Amino acid sequence: MKIWIINGPNLNLLGTREPDIYGHETLDTINRRIQTYLIDKKHMYEFYQSNSEGALIDKIQEAREENVDGIVFNPAAYTHYSYALHDAVKAVSIPTVEVHLSAIHSREAFRKESVIAPACIGQVSGFGSNGYLLGVQALEHHLSEEKQK
């Protein structure tokens, strides 16, 4: 399977960004852990992070051209207001799992809503960096069920 892991704004600062909420691991450290799993499972993969909405949209569009099977996506703050990213996920029809390190439903009111989740097959929130791995496993499960249909 071909799986892309896409991260949105400010997640390049993981490790130093509000560590009490987002943990002490850097994005590189997290990605390396996911990479070990992806290699072990013989998946093809790519990691991508951008602080800009347009670049994230371009990357999601590129995923369709590259025949990506599934996306694990942490849209960060765009989660809460980017209809453009919602539309991009819908447009490419690639099964996407939304991931958040923090438990967005038990934080500030503005974080409770995700405008992207309705375009996704599901959401993982509140399990720290393990959420990315859970997202990959959810995709594996989803894709193998789709194959059996």
Active site residues: 22, 100
- Binding mask of the shown chain, residues 16 to 55, with x at each position contacting ligand DQA by CB under 6 A: ----------------------------------------
Least distance CB 53 / ligand DQA (angstroms): 13
DSSP helix, strand, coil percent of the chain (3-state; round to 5): 50, 15, 30
How far apart are the C-alpha atoms of 56 and 37, rounded to whole Å? 24
- Choice between 1 and 51, CB closer to ligand DQA: 51
Asked if 104 contacts 114 with a C-beta cutoff of 8 angstroms, the reply is yes
Question: Which range in 47-55, 70-78, 116-124, 137-145 contacts ligand DQA by CB under 6 A?
Answer: 70-78
Q: Which helix (H) or strand (E) holds 73?
A: strand 70-74
Least distance CB 32 / ligand DQA (angstroms): 18
Of 76, 97, 119, 124, the residue at the interface with ligand DQA (CB under 6 A) is 76
Nearest to 127 by CA among 67, 61, 72, 59: 72
| 142 phi/psi in degrees, rounded to 5 | -60, -45
Residue 7: other Cβ atoms inside 10 A: 24
Of 39, 55, 77, 91, the residue at the interface with ligand DQA (CB under 6 A) is 77
- Binding mask of the shown chain, residues 101 to 120, with x at each position contacting ligand DQA by CB under 6 A: xx-x------x---------
- Choice between 63 and 101, CB closer to ligand DQA: 101
How far apart are the C-alpha atoms of 18 and 71, rounded to whole Å? 26
| Site for ligand DQA, rule CB under 6 A | 10, 74, 76-77, 79, 100-102, 104, 111
